[in-house]
Structure formats: C-alpha cells, structure tokens
Structure 1
C-alpha cells in the first residue's frame, strides 16, 4: 500500500464513521417529528368532537357521543347506558387504528 492509498482509505473511513453517527440521529429526529404531527392531528380531532358522532375509546369501546362538557365526553354505549370518559381517551372512528381513512362504521 502506498502512502497515497493509505491516506485515501483513512479519509473514507472518517466519512463512514460520520455517516454511522449521523444515521441514528436523523432517524430519531424523523421519529420525533412524525410523533409530534400525529399528536397534533389527534388533539385537533378530539377538539372537534360533536354530539351524535360515532367514536371509540382508547380501550376499544365503541359508542355515540351523547353530550360534551369541558374535558368530559358522555358516551352512549347501549340503549340507556351512558358512560363518562375523559376527552383525551376518545378517538374518532376516522382515526381509529386498522380503519382506512374515510371508511364509515362497520355494519
């Protein structure tokens, strides 16, 4: 190995080390940005809840919004059965996991 090829190899390994350090950092930044975007969309959806809207709780219980207070949602889950949930525990069906966007309630 000549002196010139040794210097070129050392420079290439420095670039490779920098790349190996930068990739995890870029991945973390990407994950934080997408999580923040998802949280913002969820907050906007929870603020836009309306009486009569079909929703799902974070625990998986489905129902229709009977009434809204500041941070409390009255959810009708069966005839004559109304439960109270925190607004942050309600997910509109359009944002429910496993359901394509815009798909109506299951029959």
Structure 2
C-alpha cells in the first residue's frame, strides 16, 4: 500500500465540514449584524446626537439652514420652535428639528468674509 492510500484508510469516512467558509450560517448572520451596526446604525446615532446638541445650543444671531434649504438668522428661540429672519422684516417660525445646519456667529462671520 502506498502512503496516500494508508492515509485515506486511517481517516475513515470523514466528510469535510459543512457550511462553507464561515463554518455555519449563524456565525455569518452574526457578522452581518455587527457590520450593519458599525457601518450604518452607529454613525447615524452619532450624527443625531450631535445635531440635538447643536439645536440645544441655538442662540440669537446664529446662522442656520433648514431642511427645506432656507437660510436665515435666528431671531428668537422657543421651547419647540425657532424664529428665523430670512430677509429684512421677514420672520418665519420653524420647528427645531427642521434646522439641518447650524453656523455659530463667529463661523458665520468668517464664512462671509
């Protein structure tokens, strides 16, 4: 008998492991869930918290852009709404979540120069 035939006889009728490259399907689905969390869910949570922090720090004179694309300067901040000055003598009241971008007074002045 050759070496290879003895090796095959010693192994018996063992079959290769099932499940492909990851071993089993549960491990694959677990890895997919972890990837979705770190690539999609976690960055969105971080952005939401950052926006909530900026909305809580809104004050008169800040330049903002709403989700509708309207640029304005904060005239008055209330509990749930913010009043924006969009033109001379024109005030519009928005819900706070409608504010998409906040530029502070100092950064707004630096951008305009």
Structures share fold, TM-score greater than 0.5: yes
The counterpart of 2:30, out of the listed 9, 22, 27, is 22
TM-score, normalised to structure 2, is 0.69
Higher Rg of the two aligned structures: 2
Is contact 1:55-1:90 (8 Å) kept? yes
TM-score (norm 1): 0.72
Q: How many residue pairs were aligned?
A: 98
2-side partners of 1:84 and 1:105: how far apart? 25
Report how far residue 16 of structure 1 moved: 5.8
> Hey, what does 2:4 align to over in structure 1?
none
Residue 101 of structure 2 is aligned to residue 92 of structure 1: yes
- RMSD across aligned positions (CA): 2.8
Q: 1:10 aligns to what SS in structure 2? A: coil
Q: Secondary structure of 2:69's match?
A: coil
Instruction: Give unmatched runs, 5+ long, in structure 2.
Output: 1-7
Q: What is the match of residue 88 of structure 2?
A: 79
Partner Cα distance (1:53, 1:4) in 2: 77
Is there any run of 5+ residues in structure 1 with no aligned partner, and where?
A: 95-101
Task: Check 1:17–1:53 CA distance in 2 against 1; reply closer, same or farther (3 A cut).
Answer: same
Which residue number corresponds to residue 5 of structure 2? none
